Chains A and B, each alone.
Chain A
């Protein structure tokens, strides 16, 4: 399967619980991204990784952590979920690393509800 997969598709979570959203790509892309999308707002970058072994903070990193142990996987962890983290989460990737103005491709998203 070519592209980006995300799991789970949707999840309802109790506040205070820990949750990891999974993202895997098989395109051998260097850069990967996590965004959240909320009604009335543009996509907001949470964390990114320009290449395996490196990560960086985006616009809204608080409450989230990431790791990039290999090229294909880029999991996003919520250490202790809060209701304001209710959102749709998209993982994306692009072929080039940091200094590349090429296209980002998106996974299907994870709809997360924190109660």
Chain B
């Protein structure tokens, strides 16, 4: 079967760094996406990795290891507005997205 695992909830302090992990087992792989979702709102795109390595975009970076079925999202210089759920999704061999349940990130002052 297909499976995406990520922690249910994490807590971090404003100004700090947090790493949200995602492991996956899917039928085929055409890339891994990270989305941010604030409570009551739609998911919005953050990053896409299809090759191994680190992709940096401002305060957010995403890493992929295809051989380990592993990715992480790194958030630096945390701000209160970063409090949200972070969704990991893998595009399978049919180009459909398989979604993790999301990690709720709580930022404390």
Spell out A's residues near B (CB within 8 Å): 40-45, 48, 58, 90, 98-101, 103-109
Contacts and interface: CB of A to CB of B under 8 A. Distances in A.
Nearest to A102: B48
Contacts, number: 47
Interface of B: 4, 30-31, 33, 41-45, 48, 50, 87, 89, 91, 94-102
Contacts of B33: 103-104
Contacts of B43: 43, 90, 106
B50 A42 contact: no
B97 A45 contact: yes
B70 to A, nearest CB: 17
Contact of B42 (A40, A58, A106): A106
B4 A42 contact: yes
